[in-house]
Structure 1
Amino acid sequence: MYENRWQGAGTSNTNSMITSNQSIILPNSFYVEDGSYIRIRNIQVGYNLPKSFANALSVTKLRVYVSAQNPWTSFKYNGFSPEINNTDRVQMGIDNNIYPISAIYTMGMNLTF
Structure 2
Amino acid sequence: FTYIQIKNIMLGYNLKSSWAHKLGVSGLQVNFSVENPYTFCDVRSVLNYDNSWFASYPTARSFVFGLNVNF
TM-score band, normalised by shorter chain: 0.7 to 0.9
Which sections of structure 1, spanning at least 5 residues, go unmatched? 1-33, 87-92
More strand by share: 2
How many residue pairs get aligned? The number is: 71
TM-score (norm 2): 0.75
SS across alignment from 1:55? helix
Match of 2:42 in 1: 76
When the two chains are superposed, the root-mean-square deviation of aligned CA atoms in Å is 2.3
Does the 8 Å CA contact 1:84/1:94 hold for their aligned counterparts?
no
Once residues 14 and 25 of structure 2 are traced to their aligned partners in structure 1, the CA distance between those partners, rounded to angstroms, is: 12
Measure how far apart 1:47 and its partner are.
1.1
Once residues 26 and 67 of structure 2 are traced to their aligned partners in structure 1, the CA distance between those partners, rounded to angstroms, is: 13
Measure how far apart 1:62 and its partner are.
0.3
Establish whether residue 108 from structure 1 lines up as the match of residue 55 from structure 2.
no
| Segments of 4+ moved more than 4 angstroms | none
Question: Residues 54-69 of structure 1: matches in 2 within 5 Å?
Answer: 54-69=20-35
Which sections of structure 2, spanning at least 5 residues, go unmatched? none
TM-score (norm 1): 0.52
Structure possessing the higher radius of gyration over alpha carbons: 1
Matched to 2:5, the amino acid is R
